[in-house]
Amino acid sequence: MPVPRLTDARRDLRRTQIIEAAVRCFSRRGLDQTSIADITAESGLSAGSIYAHYRNKADLLQAVARAVLDRHAATLSAYAAESPPPNPDELLARLVTTIDPAYARVGVQTWGAATTDPALREIVTGMVARLRDLLLTCVAAWLSRVGNGDPAEAGPIVERLMVAYQAQLLRAALQDAEPSAPDRGKPDPP
């Protein structure tokens, strides 16, 4: 009896399920300590199912990076299409509210690993360049629509936005996802 093929929609759903499980595992255990077996257990799928979609952990990490960037692309494209688009301060505030701490932890780990892994460095530099381009489109649209701005001035504004956003990602990554029960409600130490 032939094995039924997955539809494109079902395949996309399965990939999303695997990516989300990988993010949870990478966030909790770290990139190096997470195994495909961990992701298999977290996703509830078989190892064969995961390998049917991703060749190895590195391939899966690339898919996670693309998924994060695709979310940013959709968000920024929607912002650029608004009339008028959000100003840079509002744009940064909106982006910060969309930060998922688990994805931030995986992102920061990926940045660190990229300093010694050429394949990850390529992914990270590509992601940063694409995010910069998306922000540039959004800021240039804002500058051209507010009537008093030159879209050519978008570059320096985007560089400041990138630094501020990456700092917020790092901040989110370093925050505990769930403080232990005894620490809840206690003020931060001075």
Q: Using H for helix, E for strand and C for coil, what is the string for the chain?
A: CCCCCCCHHHHHHHHHHHHHHHHHHHHHHCCCCCCHHHHHHHHCCCHHHHHHHCCCHHHHHHHHHHHHHHHHHHHHHHHHHCCCCCCHHHHHHHHHHCCCHHHHHHHHHHHHHHCCCHHHHHHHHHHHHHHHHHHHHHHHHHHHHCCCCCHHHHHHHHHHHHHHHHHHHHHHHHCCCCCCHHHCCCCCCC
Note the pLDDT tens digit of each residue in 14-68: 999 999 999 999 999 998 899 999 999 999 999 999 999 999 988 898 888 778 7
Rounded mean pLDDT, 103-107: 89
pLDDT of residue 1: 60
Every domain of the chain and the residues it spans: 57-175
Residue percentage of the chain with pLDDT more than 90: 41
Note the pLDDT tens digit of each residue in 69-95: 777 778 877 887 888 788 999 999 998
Residue 186 has pLDDT above 70, yes or no: no
pTM: 0.77
